Copies of this chain bind each other. A is one copy, B any other.
Amino acid sequence: MQIREIGEFGLIQRLKKRTRFSDPSVVKGIGDDCAVVKICDDQLLLITCDLLLEGVHFNLTYTDSYHLGKKALAVNLSDIAAMGGNPRFYLVSLGLPPALSLAFVEGLYQGMEEMAKKYKLSLVGGNISSSRKILLDITLCGESQPRETVYRDGARAGDAIFVTGTLGDSSLGLTVLKSGSKVKDTPALRKLAEKHLSPQPRVREGRFIAAHHLATAMIDISDGLVSDLNHILEESRRGAEIWIEKLPLSPQVMKYSHIYRKNYIDLALAGGEDYELLFTVPQERLKKFSRLSRQVSLPVTMIGKITGEKGKIHLIKNDGEPYLLRREGFRHF
């Protein structure tokens, strides 16, 4: 059997079954945004790694190495954010073609450093190999307090579902870039392209939500809202309904999606690479959440609720009719 026959998540499930932890200091292994290990009393170590491959995750015809470096760190920061953690330091594994310019590599590091500076991260190690295509694998470590760490598996029936920011911008931005449109002269298109090339991880928001014990479950949206919500539902053994008309959309997505032959609802549900946070808040904490999030101007929208119907997602329109999604989100294999 080939691995494409069981797919990315099928393969992960299969491998997950193989791993058993005899080590009591492993708080969370495979199946969350980060691995969580108890290193000392009252302190957890969060670790995540993300691989970016030329031709699979990025294309040098529409990104430069500076933005690639920034984004490589951003997608890892987003994983730390999704646990409510404080990012601390990172390592970089690089594969580089020997004929690559030194300027490219320096741009890459400049991008990473700029993102690192913003979050006070230290680059502590890594390795460099020659390779045919460019590849980057960043390992990012963070820390969190045990009581201020949010996992994927805590959602309960009745919890409200929230997302930060707006959805679908990054995916539409990629379409715009691929189309070859000149984005420079149109602010709205430039904004969409930037959302794809230079995502801003929600570290501050994740920390705030976790520190105030507001969420029962949290994840970052990398594969698409429905796909990532599914991870929460699987880990929490719950279902959900999503209210289609509540999905937060930017003016740019509203205006330009049809020009690029995209349905903005589908973009919001399955676009991918938004790097927004998706989290669940229990009914009894909604008041506190609403008060606190207003105080710090947290950009959040309630988009649905968790149900007891294990594994089911109902996409519901205002008129009560179900919404039919055409595709679910990005899948490897």
Q: A2-B99, A3-B102, A100-B3 are in contact. Are A128 and B91 (CB under 8 A)?
A: no
- Does B12 lie within 8 Å of A332, measured CB to CB? no
Q: When chains A and B are docked, how far (Å) is the Cα of A53 from the Cα of B131? A: 7
Query: Chain A interface residue count: which class?
Result: 35 or more
With known contacts A37-B89, A88-B23, A49–B126 Cβ distance under 8 A: yes
Flag whether A260 is at the interface (Cβ < 8 A): no
Whole-angstrom distance between the alpha carbons of A56 and B129 in the complex? 8
A269 at the interface (CB under 8 A from B): no
- Establish whether residues A130 and B19, one from each chain, have CB atoms under 8 Å apart when the complex forms: no
Residue contact A131 to B56, C-beta cutoff 8 Å? yes
Asked if A273 is at the interface of the complex by the 8 Å CB criterion, the answer is no
Q: From residue 36 to 89 of chain A, which have CB atoms closer than 8 A to chain B?
A: 37, 39-41, 43, 45, 47-51, 53, 55-57, 88-89
Per-residue CB proximity of A100-136 to B under 8 Å, as 1/0?
1111010001000100000010111111111111010
A167 to B252, CA, bound (A): 63
Residues facing B in A132-156 (CB within 8 A) are: 132-133, 135, 137, 139, 141, 143
Flag if A47 contacts B2 (CB, 8 Å): no
A95 within 8 A of B: yes
Residues of B within 8 Å of A333, CB to CB, are: 96, 98, 130
B26 touches A122 (CB 8 A): yes
Q: Does A35 contact B (CB under 8 A)?
A: yes
Task: Verify if A255 is at the interface (C-beta below 8 Å from B).
Answer: no
Copies in the complex: 2
Q: Is the CB of A141 within 8 A of B47?
A: yes
A sample of 23 inter-chain contacts (CB < 8 A) reads A3-B100, A3-B102, A3-B105, A4-B98, A11-B105, A12-B128, A14-B102, A18-B109, A19-B122, A23-B88, A29-B123, A37-B141, A39-B39, A39-B43, A47-B125, A49-B139, A51-B137, A56-B95, A56-B129, A57-B129, A98-B333, A130-B333, A131-B135
Q: A residues near B, CB below 8 A?
A: 1-6, 8, 11-12, 14-15, 18-19, 21-23, 25-26, 28-30, 34-35, 37, 39-41, 43, 45, 47-51, 53, 55-57, 88-89, 91, 93-96, 98-103, 105, 109, 113, 120, 122-133, 135, 137, 139, 141, 143, 332-333
Given A11-B128, A45-B141, 14 further pairs, Cβ under 8 A? A2-B98, A8-B128, A12-B128, A29-B122, A29-B123, A30-B125, A34-B125, A37-B89, A40-B41, A47-B141, A49-B126, A51-B127, A130-B333, A137-B137
